[in-house]
Amino acid sequence: MTHSPEWFISWFDTPYYHILYKHRDDTEAHDFIDVLFNELKLEKDAAILDLACGKGRHAIYMNQKGHHVVGYDLAEENILFAKEFENESLHFEVRDMRENLGENEFDWVFNLFTSFGYFESREENVKALKAIAKSLKPGGKLLIDFMNAAKVAKRLVPKEHKRAENIDFYIERFTRDNHIIKEIRFEAEGIEHQYEEKVQMLSKQDFEEFLEKAGLTVKTYFGSLDLQPFNESTSDRLIILAEKA
């Protein structure tokens, strides 16, 4: 079995994705949101969009902290799961970040855990950011939590074997055409599966270019989940806070 032209549509919608990454627990998500909200000082009535929300672990916790939250994700299975947690102030929908996300609806948009740069072209990144900018209220803010691609590329583990729920996952990592590639092979239910994760190696300068084209202004950068200053050589993350005029 091979992946679709847009790898994230097929891979994220399988149960195997969640088996492989089941170690990504709620505690990690909650700790990051606590740190973010303490730093950003969100107003209680802030309208929040969790964009590429997955199964909703960040959105659900943001809602528990008293905010009105909407979660959008392209994977239908993720949204079906997340909808079990909906209430009057928490809603989930299947949406593509490159398409209409609304107009002047949100005070904050959060795009967390390297959920950007999945597309084939740089132009699609700008298209997504323009859709985000349109969805923000005037003065609204976007926070993108991306990998520090320069550091990740230098420290790739070429081959890895992981066993989860009696499935052996064989993983290879490499760079190609300015992308970080992760090839994943495994056998499940008597069928050989192969998927590829492919993320653009976007730099701080790339994001500055894209955000400017989208009409968003960078306010600050952070380099870790505890919001230390960004350093291209040493930081684990590239976390960007931008604002709509």
More confident residue, 4 or 77: 77
CA dist 126 and 93 (Å) reads 22
Q: What is the pLDDT of residues 180-225, one digit of tens each?
A: 999 999 999 999 999 999 999 999 999 999 999 999 999 999 999 9
Instruction: Output the pTM of the full model.
Output: 0.93
Record: fold of 7-148+203-244: Rossmann fold (3.40.50)
Q: Residues spanned by CATH 3.40.50.150 within the chain?
A: 7-148+203-244
* Cβ contact 183:189 at 8 Å: no
Q: What pLDDT band is residue 10 in, cutting at 50, 70 and 90?
A: confident
The answer to whether 198 touches 121, Cβ cutoff 8 Å, is no
In this predicted structure, the answer to whether residue 1 has a pLDDT above a threshold of 50 is: no
- pLDDT on residue 207: 98
**How far, in Å, CA of 200 to CA of 43, rounded?**
33
Please name the residue ranges forming H helices in 120-175: 122-135, 149-154
pLDDT over 90 at 226, yes or no: yes
Regarding beta strands 47-51 and 106-111, do their DSSP bridges make them parallel or antiparallel, or are they unpaired? parallel
Q: Report pLDDT digits (tens) over 41-61.
A: 999 889 999 999 999 999 999
Pairing assessment for the beta strands 68-73 and 47-51 based on DSSP bridges = parallel
76-116: per-residue pLDDT in tens?
989 999 999 999 999 999 999 999 999 999 999 999 999 99
Tell me the residue type at 190.
G
